[in-house]
Amino acid sequence: MTETSEARAGFVAIVGAPNVGKSTLVNKFVGAKVSIVSPKVQTTRTRVLGICMVDATQLIFVDTPGIFAPRRRLDRAMVAAAWSGAADADEVLVVGDAEAGLDGDARVIVERLKAAGRKAILAINKVDAVKKPRLLALAAAFDRSGVFTDTFMISALTGDGVADLKAFLADHMPRGPWLFPEDQISDMPERLCAAEITREQLYLQLRQELPYAAAVETADWQEKDDGSVRIEQVIYVEKNSQKAIVVGSKGSRIKALGEAARKQLEAIFGRRVHLFLVVKVKPKWGDDPARYRDLGLDFGA
Ligand code: GDP
Ligand code: MG
The answer to whether residues 195 and 216 touch, using CB atoms and an 8 Å cutoff, is yes
Q: What is the mean pLDDT of residues 190-195?
A: 79
pTM of the entire predicted model: 0.65
Q: Which residues have C-beta under 5 Å from ligand 2, the single-atom ion? A: 22-23, 44
pLDDT band at 215 (very low <50, low <70, confident <90, very high): confident
Mark out the alpha helices in 172-250 (DSSP H runs).
190-206, 240-247
Distance CA 291, CA 301 (A): 14
DSSP E strand boundaries for 83-181: 91-97, 120-125, 148-153
C-alpha 231 to ligand 2 mean position (Å): 24
Q: Which atom of ligand 1 is the closest one to the Cα of 24? A: 7
Residues 280-297 as b or e (16 or more Cβ within 10 Å = b): eeeeebbeeeebbeebeb
235 Cβ inside 6 Å of ligand 1: no
CA distances from 229 to 186, 194, 195 (A): 20, 11, 14
Looking at the chain, how many residues does it have? 301
**Domains with residue ranges and CATH for the chain:** 8-171 (3.40.50.300), 190-295 (3.30.300.20)
pLDDT confidence tier of residue 168, bands split at 50, 70 and 90: very high
The Å distance, Cα 25 to ligand 2 centre, comes to 9
pLDDT for residue 289 = 65
The residue among 141, 111, 112, 104 whose CA lies nearest residue 124 is 141
Condensed to tens digits (0 to 9), the pLDDT of residues 278-297 reads: 999 987 766 666 665 555 55
Average pLDDT of the segment spanning 180-190 = 61
39 lines ligand 1 (CB under 6 A): yes
**Which residue's alpha carbon is at the smallest distance from atom 9 of ligand 1?**
21
In angstroms, the CA 215 to CA 56 distance is: 38
Contact in structure between 134 and 98 (CB atoms under 8 Å): yes
Residue whose Cα lies nearest atom 24 of ligand 1: it is: 126
Residue 49, CA atoms < 13 Å, CB-side half-sphere = 20
Could you tell which of 34, 37, 40 is best to mutate to test the pocket of ligand 1, judged by most ligand atoms within 8 Å of the CB? 37
Task: Find the helix or strand (DSSP H, E) in which 236 lies.
Answer: strand 229-237
- The whole-number average pLDDT for the span 53-67 is 75
What's the pLDDT tens digit per position in 232-269? 999 998 889 999 999 999 999 999 999 999 998 887 77
